[in-house]
Amino acid sequence: MIKRTEIIDLDKKQDIIDHINQDHTEELLIIAQDYEMKLIIKNALIEDIFQEGVLLALFDKENKKLKNLFVEFQLRGDLEEQILYLAYQAFIKNNRDLSGNKTVYFDVVNVQKITQNF
C-alpha cells in the first residue's frame, strides 16, 4: 500500500483540485485511461491530492462512478505541475496530439560546456 501524506495547505490544494477539474478535463481523462485500460472511462475528476500522488474518481458514459484510482507522481515539485506531467506522459505513451497542451516538458540528456561564457 502506498503511503499517503496529506497536503498541509488545504486552500492551495482545493484551488488546484478546482482548477484542474474545471480546466483540464482532457488531461485527467487521458491519465485515467492510461492507468486503467480495462475500463471504458468517459470522465475523471480529482477527489484528493497527496504528497505522493493524486486520487481520481473514474466515471462511465452515464456519469456513474466506476472506481477510485490512485496515481503516483513521477517527479517532485509543484502539485499542479506533477499532475500535468502525468498527463503529458500519458499523451506521449498513447501517441495523442499535444498541440493544445500549453505546458511542455523535456529531458536533459547531456550537459556540455560550449564556450567559456556559455
CATH code, domain with 37:
3.20.180.10
| Three-state secondary structure call for residue 36 | coil
Q: What is the pTM of this model?
A: 0.78
User: How many independent structural domains does the chain possess?
Assistant: 1
Domain-embedded: residue 24: yes
Q: Are 58 and 65 in contact (CB under 8 A)?
A: yes
Q: Give me the residues paired with residue 54 across strands.
A: 49, 71
Domain-embedded: residue 28: yes
Domain that holds residue 15: 10-93
Query: Region 92-116: what's the mean pLDDT?
Result: 68
Which H or E run includes 71?
A: strand 65-72
Domain-embedded: residue 104: no
Tens digit of pLDDT for each residue in 1-38? 667 999 999 999 999 999 999 999 999 999 999 999 89
Domain-embedded: residue 113: no
Domain-embedded: residue 78: yes
